[in-house]
């Protein structure tokens, strides 16, 4: 079976309307991408799957939509203003900028720069004369910490303006609304707040298509609990993440846990779920035991008590938080790699097929008149009927084989073909994308046939 490279997938996404280069007609903007009509639907279906898995089927689980722009004090409290940075250095020869940890990890994958201090990284780079990936010389500046948050100005004039930031993670919106959600939902610990939303990071390293972008979407889930419950919940979310990815259609052997040795300033334990991309293993989810760090800091900086009062024990305490965050754009990418296949057929023919789970497919059913002149009217009537319930397409251009292939390549799980039997006996053909099997059934039964085929 053909292995698709990142370049293959980029070409596929652009050709079929999944993902386009950001600001393409202006030559693009590094590490930005726009989702096309099919990519947008696909992404929305993944969001629905996440909602099903994390909100709908759970008790005490609430969704939030907090603002991207927040009071700057939030980022002081969270530690992002002081510590959310990458160690960068410049090549004096060709003037390109690089991340010190990446230079080391790419030079020697055993070196583990993640556990080194800034001084240790600089020493390692100099001692090993690590070459610049662009020009090959080894002449770097000192390492400087570069904050990843995008700042903008709030205010009418520049002089009177105050800096505000595009959020680098969704999480803080959930934390500052912890009391609001608890009060209005009349809930008790443990409970969860989930949110799907954009985050922004001034990433300078090459993006690997949508793997690393400066604007991306996260599906975050925060569980507020009492101390002592945190460790079991942390383990639970680690394995629930694998279940979620398997549900989306990722093979178990393409997933692994990666426990962190070097922890972020807020975490007591952290673990990623990684997917095996063509460029190697890459993080698609992060689960952290954030302890009571965040709420304690927000209590301190806001002056507002964020303590929880437990009626049974009459105890007051700051809840612990277990966070499990999913990178939506990386999941889109992983699922496309997982599903796209070039299949060998009989007589040396091949077809490209996107074997997405039917629930995630951007288009569910493709309605086809066998002969446009004769069958279009009935086919359009069936198309309009199905359209009320599902995302359906209608295709009357070219021979039927080509039209089946057009549905296969974008992952449409079913095709309904209208022919003379439809006009005379009310019978249509339903073709299945993966097996290419065809069944005949009365079109009056289409609704019940499709009823349990899609979850979202
Ligand atoms: N609130 C915790 C948090 O933001 P993170 O590990 O920095 O944790 C969570 O990010 C997820 O967001 C990652 O697992 C990844 O899937 C995604 N992500 C992070 N940076 C990204 C970027 N520059 N481009 C695309 N996705 C990114």
We report the CATH number of the domain holding residue 193 as 3.30.930.10
Tell whether 106 is covered by a domain: no
Ligand 1 atom 3, closest CA: 169
**What are 320-334's pLDDT values in tens digits?**
999 999 999 999 999
CB atoms within 10 A of CB 439: 10
Average pLDDT over residues 272-277: 98
Q: Is residue 199 part of a domain?
A: yes
Q: Which atom of ligand 1 is nearest to the CA of 220?
A: 1
Domain that holds residue 417: 363-450
Residue 228 lies in a domain: yes
Q: Is 201 in the pocket of ligand 1 (CB under 6 A)?
A: yes
Looking at residue 377, its pLDDT comes to: 98
Whether the CB of 212 sits within 6 Å of ligand 1: yes
> Could you tell me the sign of the dihedral formed by the alpha carbons of 92, 93, 97, 102, in that order?
negative
Q: Report the distance separating Cα 422 and Cα 13, nearest Å.
A: 35
Q: Which residues pair with 392 in a beta bridge?
A: 365
- Atom 19 (ligand 1): residue with closest C-alpha? 327
Total of domains in the chain: 2
- The answer, yes or no, to whether any atom of ligand 1 lies below 6 A from the CB of 294, is no
The reply, when asked if residue 202 is annotated as ligand binding, is yes
Pair (321, 371) in one structural domain: no
Q: 197 and 51, same structural domain?
A: yes
Residue 437 located in a structural domain = yes
- Interval 357-386 mean pLDDT: 98
Position 290 confidence tier, pLDDT thresholds 50, 70, 90: very high
CATH number of the domain within which 395 lies: 3.40.50.800
Tens of pLDDT, residue by residue over 178-206, are: 999 999 999 999 999 999 999 999 988 76
Are 330 and 416 contained in the same domain?
no
Same domain as 310, residue 193: yes
Q: Classify residue 205: in a domain, yes or no.
A: yes
pLDDT tens-digit series, residues 387-411: 999 999 999 999 999 999 999 999 9
- Give per-residue pLDDT as tens, 34-85: 999 999 999 999 999 999 999 999 999 999 999 999 999 999 999 999 989 9
At residue 252, does pLDDT exceed 70? yes
Question: How high is the pLDDT of residue 206?
Answer: 67
Q: Do 275 and 315 belong to one domain?
A: yes
DSSP string, 341-369: EEEE-GGG-EEEEE---TTT-S--EEEEE
| Mean pLDDT, rounded, for 14-18 | 98
Name the pTM for this structure. Answer: 0.94
Contact in structure between 194 and 185 (CB atoms under 8 Å): no
Distance 160 CA to ligand 1 centre (A): 33
- Please state the atom number of ligand 1 nearest to the C-alpha of residue 218: 12
**Tokens standing for residue 262:** 């070097």
Q: Judge if 418 and 327 occupy the same domain.
A: no
Q: What is the pLDDT of residues 199-231, one digit of tens each?
A: 999 988 767 999 999 999 999 999 999 999 999
- 405 found inside a domain: yes
User: Are residue 303 and residue 253 in the same domain, yes or no?
Assistant: yes
* CB distance 218 to ligand 1 below 6 Å: yes
Whether residue 317 sits in one domain with residue 372: no
177: its two tokens: 């609304």
In a domain, 234, yes or no: yes
Which letter does DSSP use for residue 306 in this model?
Answer: -
Does 43 share its domain with 192?
yes
Q: Please tell me the predicted confidence (pLDDT) of residue 456.
A: 81
**Distance from Cα 285 to the centre of ligand 1, integer Å:** 7
Average pLDDT across the chain, whole number: 95
Residue whose Cα lies nearest atom 20 of ligand 1: it is 212
Residues 299 and 220 in one domain: yes
Q: State the pLDDT at residue 162.
A: 87
Q: What is the mean pLDDT of residues 241-269?
A: 94
Do the annotations mark residue 107 as ligand-binding? no
Q: Do residues 262 and 190 both lie within one domain?
A: yes
pLDDT digits (tens, 9 = 90+) for 90-129: 999 999 989 999 899 889 988 888 788 899 999 999 999 9
- The answer on 302 and 368 residing in a single domain is no
Give, using CA atoms, the residue closest to atom 16 of ligand 1.
Answer: 327
Q: Is the pLDDT of residue 368 over 90?
A: yes
């Amino acid at each position: 079976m053909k292995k698709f490279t990142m370049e293959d997938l980029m070409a596929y996404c652009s050709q079929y309307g999944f993902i386009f280069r950001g600001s393409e007609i202006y030559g693009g903007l590094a590490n930005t991408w726009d989702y096309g009509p099919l990519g947008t639907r696909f992404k929305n279906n993944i969001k629905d799957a996440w909602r099903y898995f994390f909100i709908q089927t759970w008790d005490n689980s609430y969704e939030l939509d907090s603002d991207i722009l927040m009071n700057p004090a939030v980022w002081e409290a969270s530690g992002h203003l002081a510590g959310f940075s990458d160690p960068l250095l410049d090549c004096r020869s060709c003037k390109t900028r690089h991340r010190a940890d990446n230079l080391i990890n790419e030079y020697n994958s055993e070196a583990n720069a993640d556990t080194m201090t800034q001084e240790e990284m600089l020493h390692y780079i100099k001692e090993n004369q690590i070459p610049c990936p662009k020009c090959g010389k080894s002449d770097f500046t000192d390492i400087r910490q570069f904050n990843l948050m995008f700042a903008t100005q709030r205010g009418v004039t520049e002089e009177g303006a105050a800096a505000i930031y595009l959020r680098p993670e969704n999480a803080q919106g959930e934390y500052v609304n912890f009391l609001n959600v608890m009060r209005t939902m009349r809930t008790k610990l443990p409970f969860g707040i989930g949110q799907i939303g954009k985050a922004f990071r001034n990433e300078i390293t090459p993006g690997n298509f949508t793997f690393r972008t400066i604007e991306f979407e996260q599906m975050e889930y925060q569980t507020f609990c009492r101390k002592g419950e945190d460790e079991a919940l942390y383990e639970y979310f680690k394995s629930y993440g694998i279940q979620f990815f398997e549900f989306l259609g990722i093979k178990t052997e393409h997933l692994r846990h990666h426990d962190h040795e070097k922890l972020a300033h807020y975490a007591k334990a952290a673990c990623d779920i990684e997917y095996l991309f063509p460029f190697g293993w890459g993080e698609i989810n992060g689960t952290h035991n954030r302890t009571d760090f965040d709420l304690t800091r927000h209590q301190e900086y806001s002056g507002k008590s964020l303590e929880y009062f437990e009626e049974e024990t009459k105890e007051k305490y700051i809840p612990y938080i277990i966070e499990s965050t999913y990178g939506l754009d990386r999941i889109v990418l992983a699922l496309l790699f997982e599903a796209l296949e070039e299949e060998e057929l009989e007589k040396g023919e091949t077809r490209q097929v996107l074997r997405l789970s039917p629930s995630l497919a951007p288009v569910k059913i493709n309605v086809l008149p066998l002969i446009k002149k004769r069958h279009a009217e009935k086919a359009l009537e069936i198309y309009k009927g199905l359209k009320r319930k599902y995302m359906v397409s209608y295709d009357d251009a070219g021979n039927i084989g080509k039209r089946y292939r057009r549905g296969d390549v974008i992952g449409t799980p079913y095709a309904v073909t209208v022919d003379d039997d439809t006009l005379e006996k009310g019978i249509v053909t339903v073709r299945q994308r993966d097996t290419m099997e065809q069944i005949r059934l009365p079109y009056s039964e289409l609704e019940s046939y499709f009823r349990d085929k899609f979850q979202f």
